[in-house]
Amino acid sequence: MKKTVLFLLLVSTAFISQAQKFGYSKGDNLLNVGVGVNSFYNGGIPFGASYEKGITNDISVGANADYLSNNYNYGSGISYKFTAIYVGARASYHFNKLLKINTEKIDVYGGATIGYRSFKWKDNFSNSGLDDSYGSGVYLGVYAGGKYYFSKKIGVFTEVGDIGSTNARIGLAFKL
């Protein structure tokens, strides 16, 4: 009897140790809020947010938004203001299981985004050559990112790629 109980304990311990924990799983609600570390448009600080819902253990889908505004004043009454707003959909593949990263603290992912970008341009140049909506339209992008969670709900993230008005972003990550 003692041997049977000991055997069952050992077997159940082996199965429990095989249960894997990842930084992402189906059903997770993920929110990223961050700032761009640079801008495609040579000025201003890009702010952005994204939300994703886990639909499988490897794939999440959601939405993203980005905002950037910058004013230039060259003196002598010459100035302009530029504003960019990006709104789109995104889908991510989470690589933890594939890469065998068995921890709840790390999430490694990559994905694609599609959306609409709106550019507003105002200046007082007589012949700037740019109209009010110069460059607005559909955008496509790809990105790679990583998250590190300090707790079960809060962490930090970084993303690189074509993610709106910046090609690199850092910020806070939340599991809602």
Domain ranges in the chain are 24-175
Listed range (20-29, 63-72, 154-163) with the worst mean pLDDT: 20-29
CB-neighbour burial class of residue 30 (10 A; exposed 0-12, middle 13-18, buried 19+) = buried
Pull the structure tokens for residue 41: 């448009």
% of the chain surpassing 70 pLDDT: 80
How confident is the model at residue 79, as a pLDDT? 77
Pull the structure tokens for residue 159: 């993303």
Gap between the Cα atoms of 173 and 153, Å rounded: 8
Confidence class for position 103, pLDDT limits 50, 70, 90: confident
74 compared with 149, residue with greater pLDDT: 149
CATH code of the region 24-175 = 2.40.160.20
- Model pTM score: 0.78
β-pair type (168-175, 106-123): unpaired
